[in-house]
Amino acid sequence: MWRLSHRADRAALPLADAHYNRQKPGTPQFVPPGRCVVLLAGDPAHSLWVTSWPLAEYTRHKWAGAWVNSCFRRTEGSDTASDMITAGIAATRAVYGDPPALGMITFIDRQEVRPTMVRGVPVWGWTYLKAGFVVAGESQSGLLCLQMLPERMPEPVAAVGSQGRLFAP
* pLDDT bucket at 105, cuts 50 / 70 / 90: very high
Please report, for the chain, the start and end positions of each structural domain, with discontinuous segments joined by +: 3-152
> Which ranges constitute the DSSP H helices of 10-150?
13-17, 81-96, 126-131
pLDDT, residue 20, reads 64
Taking the model in full, what pTM does it have?
0.88
Euclidean distance between CA atoms 4 and 55, whole angstroms: 22
Which CATH architecture best describes the domain 3-152? Answer: 3-Layer(aba) Sandwich (3.40)
Q: How confident is the model over 106-164, as pLDDT tens digits?
A: 999 998 888 889 999 999 999 999 999 999 999 999 999 999 999 999 999 988 877 76
Confidence grade of residue 55 (pLDDT, cut at 50, 70, 90): confident
